[in-house]
Amino acid sequence: MLLQIDFKSGKPVYLQLVDQIRYAAASGGLRTGEPLPSIRPLAEELRVNRNTVAKAYAELENQGVIETIPGKGCFLKESNSPFTKSARAKILTKEIDEAVVAAHHLQVDRDAFLALVKERLDSFERKVKEKSDND
């Protein structure tokens, strides 16, 4: 699982983590019982305060998505509500629509937009690969 933070989005960092982990959990990117990255290394990797990661995990526990076993770590609980395909599409549609609108205002045409999307996909896939190579 690759987590990515945008410090300037206005959205609190801990909520970005919560959303990303919740999405992964509800879509099979994380399996039941699988351990989440532990707080300290993750905080270091993301260049974020440990408290911020801890807060995200606390929130996730509160939502019943994960379970914290003191001294052992955090684990994904039985996935109680996996997203349906349409639910996933809905979330994603919202994100994509925002990018489409931004492109329109910035007067970026369809081709340039699609090219940029592909470029970002490639860049992201490279990052995922690097990470899995390191693990």
Which helix (H) or strand (E) covers residue 51, if one does? helix 50-62
41 binds a copy of itself (CB under 8 A): no
Q: What b-and-e string marks burial along 64-90, b requiring 16 or more CB atoms within 10 Å of the CB?
A: ebbeeeeeeebebbebeeebeeeeeee
Residue 93 makes contact with a copy of itself by CB under 8 A:
yes
For DNA, which stretch binds (CB under 7 A), given 40-48, 88-96, 98-106, 113-121? 40-48
DSSP H/E element including 74: strand 73-76
Q: Cα 30–1–16 angle (5° rounding)?
A: 95
Q: Supply the minimum distance, in Å, between the C-beta of residue 90 and a copy of itself.
A: 8
Q: Which residues within the stretch 115-134 sit at the binding site for DNA (CB under 7 A)? A: none
- Closest approach, Cβ 30 to a copy of itself, in A, equals 9
Interacting partner of 41 out of a copy of itself, DNA, none (Cβ under 5 to 8 A depending on kind): DNA
57 binds DNA (CB under 7 A): yes
**What residue type is 35 in one-letter code?**
P
To which H or E segment does residue 113 belong? helix 110-134
Contact set with a copy of itself (CB under 8 A): 1-2, 4, 6-12, 15, 19-29, 62-65, 69-70, 79-84, 87-89, 91-108, 110, 113-114, 116-118, 120-121, 124-125, 128
